[in-house]
A = this chain, B = another copy of it.
Amino acid sequence: MGTEVYMAGVGMTKFGKSSRTLPELMVEAASKAFLDAQVGTIDYILIGVMNVEEFTGESNVAAVIADRLGLSGVPSSRVETASSTGSAVFESGFYAAASGYHRNVLIIAGEKMTHLPTARTTRILAEVIERNERSYGASMPALAAMIAQRYRHENGLSSDRMQGILAKVAIKNHYNGSLNRYAQFRKIINETDYFKSRWVSFPLRTFDCAPITDGAVAVILTADKKLVRVTGLGHATDTLAVRHRDSFTSFKSTRLAALQAYNMAKVNPQEISLAEVHDAFTPFEIIGTEDLGFFPPGEGWKAVEEGLTTIQGRLPINPSGGLKARGHPVGASGLAQIAEVFWQLRGDVEAIRQVQGARIGLTQNIGGLANNNLVTILERTDRYRAIPVYWKSEFNPGNTAPAAIPKDPPSATEGILETFTTLYTTPEGVPSPLTLGFVRTETGSKVLARSRVENLEIGWKVKLEKEDELYYIVAVEPETLLGRMKQWADHSWGTVKRKEEGS
């Protein structure tokens, strides 16, 4: 493979609501990275931003930033993969350096979001959702909520217990964020605060969702040997539509990316000292820790309950506070994760949140609704490394070759409810509250549907009607033994574990 690539330095703005422009934020981050890295020249600039066109009405951002930095002349390109842009631009910088054509590469990622009304921001963010699912009024929180519901169902957790687990993730990340000078939220929250916060989309509350944030991060990569080396990269897509996937509770894009990254770095999940895991929604952190091989499938929630993922735990997850508390300027978050791991490895964070003896760190960054995910592994070059062992993942990538995607049925009249949510903050023009569910039809296809029925349970048989191109759930037939058996038999991804609580 190509030239070895190291991290020379990092810079970051404070995350939060800022009155400054995106170029100003990016220049601040880059200036700090220059001071940190002390490299002589910059050969290539890469800019990561998700949607500068609609958020700030600017185009041509790669040239804008090169000019603002006084680096006009130096080549500059912009890279974008929705909310994983920060990691994707880092990946592009890695290839530019690994190719041997560029010695020092400056990577800057940022987003300016808080100046727009929330309804407009929500609409812009929802453009990453597949058009059919978007047409039902599904927002990112609505889809995440249905994934959380399904996770609860498959793992046999009561609603109360699931809420307690999500609360623990939020409380942990807010605690970590309270210790991080760059974080948007510096306030500790407790269970009372969590349970007082309003519903966004059942079972997700405000404290389960990452905020709207302004911020920028810069990283300088170099071919010169430095303390921290980029040893693993993985990147994989998945179907745009959630209904075209086999599983709601495991992201193929994370699992493929993780496998690539572990193989490239020649490490096992067990060797990771700390990880930044994409927690735009609290259930995603739990699912992420399973997909990354940190905990067995269906057991990420136990690790949260047992406190294994706190800074003092066996495997600290999001010691920065994560997207939840550090904030989520969409195009910047992936690079902020990488910056945090870099600082942790170098021993540069506030002492109280420093992970002791950190040697190898990992980031996982989700693009869109988990259809363009990246995993990045950084490693200290001066610490003892066991003889590399290839990770034997239970996940067989041979089975992940693009399956024939089930065709959307021309018309369906009934099916089994796979998951559902009630969305309270709906996108512009959509009635609120809005109950949505995914229904598996007789042919095995899934459809998204709005519900006209109030009492729903996962596994119940539902009747569908189509109106103006949208499906509606119009009646339910409470779960029967036959229905449940059929559901089990048809479930094609892993084993559906219907455990007793606490087992």
Question: Which residues of chain A have a CB within 8 Å of any CB of chain B?
Answer: 1-3, 45, 50-51, 53-54, 57-60, 62-64, 66-67, 70-82, 88, 91-92, 94-96, 98-101, 124, 127-128, 233, 235-241, 252-253, 256-257, 264, 367-368, 371-372, 374, 400-402, 405
> What is the chain B residue whose CB lies nearest that of A128?
B60
**Once the chains bind, are B101 and A2 in contact (CB under 8 Å)?**
yes
Known contacts A77-B91, A80-B77; A67/B240 CB under 8 A: yes
* Cα of A367 to Cα of B233 in the assembled complex, Å: 30
Contact between A237 and B73, CB atoms less than 8 A apart: yes
The answer to whether A236 and B75 touch (CB under 8 A), given A80-B80, A127-B53, is yes
Q: How far is the CB of A343 from chain B (nearest CB, A)?
A: 25
Residues of B near A76 (CB, < 8 A) are 81, 237, 372
Besides A72-B371, A77-B92, 13 more A-B contacts (Cβ < 8 Å) are A2-B2, A2-B3, A2-B101, A45-B237, A62-B80, A62-B237, A63-B371, A66-B237, A70-B405, A73-B253, A77-B80, A77-B88, A95-B98
Check B127 against A58 for contact (C-beta < 8 Å). Answer: yes
In the complex formed, the residue of B with least CB distance to A257 is: B75
Given contacts A74-B236, A78-B79, A92-B79, contact A60 B371 (CB under 8 A): yes
Contact in complex: B101, A95 (CB < 8 Å): yes
- Bound-complex Cα distance A72 to B241 (A): 11
Cβ-defined contact, B1 with A60, below 8 A? no
Is B77 in contact with A239, judged by CB distance below 8 angstroms? no
Residues of B within 8 A of A73 (CB): 236-238, 252-253, 256, 400-402
Asked if residues B236 and A101 are in contact (CB atoms below 8 Å), the reply is no
Q: Is the CB of A63 within 8 A of B401?
A: no
Structural contact, A67 and B237, CB atoms closer than 8 A:
yes
Can you report 30 residue pairs joining A to B where beta carbons are below 8 Å apart? A1-B99, A2-B2, A2-B3, A2-B100, A2-B101, A50-B59, A51-B53, A53-B127, A59-B82, A59-B124, A60-B240, A62-B81, A62-B88, A62-B237, A62-B372, A63-B238, A67-B239, A70-B402, A70-B405, A72-B240, A72-B402, A73-B252, A73-B400, A73-B402, A74-B236, A75-B372, A77-B79, A77-B91, A77-B235, A92-B96
Q: Is the CB of B367 within 8 A of A63?
A: yes
Please give, as numbers and ranges, the residues of chain B lying within 8 Å of A256 by CB-CB distance: 73
Q: A98-B99, A101-B95 are in contact. Are A60 and B237 (CB under 8 A)?
A: no
- A51 and B59: CB pair below 8 A? yes
Report the separation of the CA atoms of residues A98 and B368 in the bound assembly, to the nearest whole angstrom.
Answer: 29
Decide if A240 touches B402 in the complex (CB within 8 Å).
no
Is the CB–CB distance between A71 and B127 below 8 Å? no
8 Å CB contact of A54 from B2, B54, B71, B91: B54
- Provide the bound-state CA to CA distance between A257 and B240, in Å: 37
Partner of A60, one of B127, B257, B405: B127
Q: Which residue of B lies closest to A82 (CB)?
A: B60
| Contact between chains at A63 and B402 (CB < 8 Å) | no
Q: Which residues of B contact A70 (CB under 8 A)?
A: 402, 405
Sorted nearest first, the 9 A-B pairs with minimum C-beta distance are A75-B235, A59-B127, A98-B99, A60-B128, A60-B82, A2-B99, A66-B237, A53-B53, A63-B371
CA distance A53 to B54 in the complex (A): 7
One of B64, B77, B94 near A240 (C-beta < 8 A): B64
Contact status B101-A1, CB under 8 Å: yes
Cβ of A405: which chain B residues have Cβ within 8 Å of it? 70
In the complex, which residues of chain B have a beta carbon less than 8 angstroms from the beta carbon of A67?
Answer: 237-241, 371
Q: Contact between A72 and B238 (Cβ–Cβ < 8 Å)?
A: yes
When distances are taken between beta carbons in the complex, the residues of chain B under 8 Å from A257 are 75
Chain B nearest CB from A370 CB (Å) reads 10
Known: A1-B101, A237-B67, A237-B74. A60 touches B95 (CB 8 A): no
Bound Cα distance A128, B59 (Å) = 5
**Complex Cα spacing A117 to B78, Å:** 27
Once the chains bind, are A99 and B95 in contact (CB under 8 Å)? yes
Residue of B nearest to A241 (CB): B67
Whether A237 touches B72, Cβ cut-off 8 Å, given contacts A50-B59, A77-B92, is: yes
In whole angstroms, how far apart are the Cα atoms of A237 and B63 in the complex? 6
Chain B residues with Cβ below 8 Å from A96 are 92, 95
Q: Given the known A-B contacts A73-B252, A100-B98, are A63 and B400 also in contact in the complex, defined by CB atoms under 8 Å?
A: no
